Structure formats: C-alpha cells, structure tokens
Chain A
C-alpha cells in the first residue's frame, strides 16, 4: 500500500525522574502540552490519540486527556511491553499515512517503583528465577562464547552512553563513568554489572504526527517518518540463535525496505539499551556492523558522538532511566531535535537520517521489536 507522507510536527518530554508526589496523569499531561506547543496546534485540532503504557490501569489515555478537556475523538491504548511507545507512534503514523486521520497525538507515560521489573504474566522461566538482566546476560554469554566478545566490550557501552547523558540536559544521570567503575560496580547477572542496567523511572513523552499539509503549516525544519517495521518473537522453548536478540533483524529489514535505504545510510540511532548487552547485539541486528563485531564497533568509538553512527546521543535508557510506556516515544523526541539541529551540546552535525529502535517482552521468547526511520525534509 502506498502511504501519503506524514511527519513529526511537535515533540514534548517530561524528563525521566522519580516524581513520587506527582500523579502519572499530570506527568503525561505536561508532555502533551509541550508537544502541542512545539507543533503550534491546539488540542481541538487533534483527530486521534494513541496512548502507550504498561502498568497504569484501565483507559489510561482517556484519564490523561480528560484533564485537558480533549475533544471526543478516537483514543487507543497501546501495550507492547517496552516497545509500546514506538508501537503507538507507528500506529499514529499509519493512521495519517493511510488518510484515516490528518493529525494524531501520541503520548507515552509510566510511573514506576524500584528494583527488578515485576512481570505480571505467568511464565515458567521467571518462576524458576530468571530475571530481565539475566535474559540479556544469557544472550551476552553466548555472544562471548561464539565471537570472543569480552565483559569490557559490554561495559564500554555504558561508558559511552553515560558520556552522552552527561551532555544532555534532559538526561537523569549526568556524570561520566569510567570503564573501571562500570566493571567494578555490583554484579547483577554476569557479565552485566549495576552500571550496565537501566534504572526504573517515571516520566512521559508526546509526539504530534501530521499530514504534509499540517507540517507545511507549522513551517521550520521538517522531520518525516520514512518507514517502520514491527515484528515479534514468539519462541516456544525452541533452539533460537539468541545472539540475534529479539526481532531486530526482521523489524529493521522491513523498515529499511519501506524507506528504500540501508544501514549505511543511517546517521544516528536511538536504541533500546535496557542493558548494555542489548545495545551491542541490537547494533549488529540493525546492520551497523557485521554479526559478531559489535565489540569492535564500541571499542573503535563508531557509536560515540563524533563516530561513524552515534548511538543513543540522549544517553539512552542507561542515562535516562526507563519509564516503560514513555521510553519508545522519547526516542522520537531526541531524534526530532537532532534532525532539526536543536540538540544543543550533543548535536550530530549534518544529521539527515535517523533510526529509532525499541524492544520489549517477557523472557527471551515472547516480545516485540519496533524500528522506525526518520529523515530531515
């Protein structure tokens, strides 16, 4: 199907933090208000809303939007674990692209507690003591076995991302860390240490997606969505290659094909680095380097600011923390600022084409991966 062009008109972020005393609806409303202002539109202009969350209960999006006196429009709540935010952006983009609507709002928000994420679905592996970091660690251990990747290679991802976070005023953790500090922080699931794990967080992000006519009306630099792939792993105690983490290869192949480009055309990436192992394996899955060479990619500084293809200029989940439903939407805020040339302190000079990647699920065998490609107009 041929889609008409749709672009990102506005973005808003409630920077991720604790917000113990702020209701999640308010956290979300602040991001919506910022995105509407950035887009230069009124809420009454909106034709549809897509709301992403995981833990916030029934009709979460409606609870957010009623407090802003939203019009009586279509609203869909989207749950796809940690890929929920990007799945919501994708749905809104398709809605405009297929001419169902002209102007859509996406809001992703979450308010979370501390510690390991508590999965609510019954799962054999989790019952036997598996954890989210251990899932990544198991993939990382296999990668070490097959390709000689080292614990230092994974730890370097955290050093790189925390440096990016130190440059980003929206980041929650703004101190540089050394390789030694990362390696010597508390072990969580070998080879993953504490500083290689994202923290839980609360926060929100919002995006306004409009037709070409709406984008023209806003004026200023344009940011188009050129393609998107959403794929799911639905393994069932079968022998999969876990060094192909999640559905990143199939989702990115679909996105590249739709956009008519390849990984060599990407100038920067926001990627789901819930744990450092994930970033290294996802870089391979996106085709930023050949399989097995993720360790070299980060060793050579290719994914650092100033490198060939900077990954997570925002600081990533590692620096920002991870309010599940907001995480994927926030990636679009960072990439929009980058493509407009508004990412002060961490700007990728001349960035034309960017990629957003998010990934979520329970266990290594059931999960969603969403890859979306954006381009400066």
Chain B
C-alpha cells in the first residue's frame, strides 16, 4: 500500500493521503487546464506560476502494458510497466500489476486500475525509491 516512508524516484509527481495514493496534477488558476506534475509554466496557456497542486489519477484505465525482462540499472527484472489514462486527457507512465493478486487477475488494456505507491528501484547505495503502481480493481476486469 501507500508507503510514505520511501523517497520518491522523482519529486513532485505522486503522493498519498488518507484516501490513498494519487498523482499530483497541476491545475492552472488562469485557464483551468490540467497538467501532470507541478511545474512553472502552464502548457495550455503558457502563463508562469499559475499551477496549483490537485490530486488526480487515484484510478484510471490501462492503455497498454509490457513486461520488461532486460532491466536498466537499479531495477530487478521482470517487472511490468504501462500507460494509464486518468481522465482530462492525461496519461501516466507507471508500474503495473503483473500477476494475479488475491484472485484478482492482472489488468489488461481497457481495464480499470487503482494507484498505489510502491518501491520500484534501488539506488547504487541501496536506498529504495518509490514510484506509481497501478493494480486491477476487483470485479472490473473485462
């Protein structure tokens, strides 16, 4: 489940609260547009300093996924990654449930998924780092 004790692999793109894990969206106070992650410049209206954090992507729909067998440094193969569509036109790259868990099969393209934050990689000094992980939602697999 959401593990707030781990350092994130990338700052400012995911977090967790009492309701669980979420992706950090940037909502523009000027144009109302939404971007993934807080950032200085709104990609929609190009205003500077107008984005405020908003929780998004607690759930989404899996677009595509693959199992990686040849891993880059810091990752342990095999692991599954993919793209999850989280609404308002946003798509998130994340780790994806690879095997059945408690009788819930791994999600396929089009299936509804729910976000957790888990350890995804290990630094050379042994520090574990967290990243987004989407798992199947029970009873929604098609």
Contacts and interface: CB of A to CB of B under 8 A. Distances in A.
A42 B6 CA distance: 63
The residue in B64, B66, B67, B95 that gathers the most chain A C-beta atoms within 10 A of its C-beta is B66
B100 interface: no
The residue in A139, A140, A189 that gathers the most chain B C-beta atoms within 10 A of its C-beta is A189
Interface string B115-142: 0000011000000000110000000000
Interface in A3-24: none
A1 to B, nearest CB: 30
Q: Interface of chain A, helix or strand or loop or mixed?
A: mixed
Interface in B53-95: 63-72, 74-75, 79, 81-83, 85, 89-95
Contacts of A141: 64-66, 82, 109
A142 interface: yes
B93 A125 contact: yes
Contacts of B114: none
Nearest to B91: A239
A128 B95 contact: yes
B64 A145 contact: yes
A237 B64 contact: no
B37 to A, nearest CB: 8
* Interface residues on chain B, size class: 35 or more
A129 B91 contact: no
A126 B10 CA distance: 11
A242 B108 CA distance: 16
B95 A189 contact: no
Given A131-B72, A242-B64, A145 B79 contact: no
Given A130-B93, A239-B89, A189 B70 contact: yes
A236 B71 CA distance: 24
Contact of A189 (B68, B94, B108, B132): B68
B64 A129 contact: no
B106 interface: no
B16 interface: no
A235 B125 CA distance: 34
Contact of A238 (B65, B69, B91, B110): B91
B89 A238 contact: yes
The residue in A125, A129, A138, A242 that gathers the most chain B C-beta atoms within 10 A of its C-beta is A129
A128 B64 contact: no
A183 to B, nearest CB: 14
B36 interface: yes
Given A238-B89, A238-B90, A127 B69 contact: no
Nearest to A139: B64
Contacts of B90: 237-239
Contacts of B95: 128-129
Contacts of A242: 63-64, 83
Given A145-B109, A186-B69, A189-B69, A237 B9 contact: no
A124 interface: yes
B43 interface: yes
Interface string A342-375: 0000000000000000000000000000000000
Contact of A129 (B79, B83, B89): B79
Interface string A295-310: 0000000000000000
Contacts of A201: none
Contacts of A148: none
A127 B65 contact: no
A73 interface: no
Contact of B67 (A116, A189, A238): A189
21 contacts: A128-B9, A128-B121, A129-B74, A129-B131, A131-B72, A138-B65, A138-B81, A141-B66, A141-B109, A145-B109, A145-B110, A188-B68, A188-B69, A189-B66, A189-B68, A236-B35, A236-B36, A236-B43, A237-B37, A238-B90, A239-B63
Given A128-B131, A141-B64, A238-B90, 9 more contacts: A124-B13, A124-B93, A129-B79, A129-B81, A134-B66, A141-B66, A142-B64, A190-B67, A239-B89
Interface of A: 116, 124-131, 133-134, 137-142, 145, 186-191, 236-240, 242
